[in-house]
Amino acid sequence: MNWKIIFSTAGSLFIAACTVNPVAEQYLDWSKKCYDGFKSRVEFLAGEEFNNCGFYDLNASKRDYLNGVQCAENAYHSGHPFILGRLDYRADNYVCETHIRSNSGSLYKLFLDFDTREGPDKSKSNPTKHEAKCERLDFDGEIISARNCDFIQ
């Protein structure tokens, strides 16, 4: 197992477990994803320090996405903050889904879906956007289930 050492601004040190296969660099950029202001919203909810487990679009391989899920699961079970996002295609819509554990331990799920009749141009497709604060996350392979969530937006 690889270990990532992160120094906080307060000078304390903590060690976060990362996956055996680290997140590939092309998945670490969260700009121009999902909707305007998305990256800043994710970073605001996560806080100053977090494990970037990646954002995976339609071109990502299942193996790469599973590496990201493993990164998030390791961080979750060791009590460390993380962000993990995915753009997926389901039936007749695109789904942008993100899971966050903040520096304070709060869990969030951000969800946006937009139908494909207008293509992935999010400005024309009547997107549905939800943000929820959750009590726990369950990991099962590539599926992350957010449990006992209350919508905050």
Q: Are 87 and 110 in contact (CB under 8 A)?
A: no
Report the half-sphere exposure of 110 (CA within 13 A, side-chain side).
Answer: 24
**pLDDT value of position 117:** 66
Q: What is the pLDDT along the chain (153 residues), one digit of tens a residue?
A: 333 433 334 433 333 444 346 788 888 999 888 888 999 999 999 998 999 999 999 899 999 999 999 999 999 999 999 999 999 887 778 889 999 999 999 999 999 987 766 555 555 556 788 999 999 999 999 899 999 999 997
CA angle 60, 63, 107 (to 5 degrees): 80
| Environment class of 6 (CB within 10 Å of its CB; exposed 0-12, middle 13-18, buried 19+) | middle
**pLDDT value of position 118:** 59
**pLDDT value of position 47:** 95
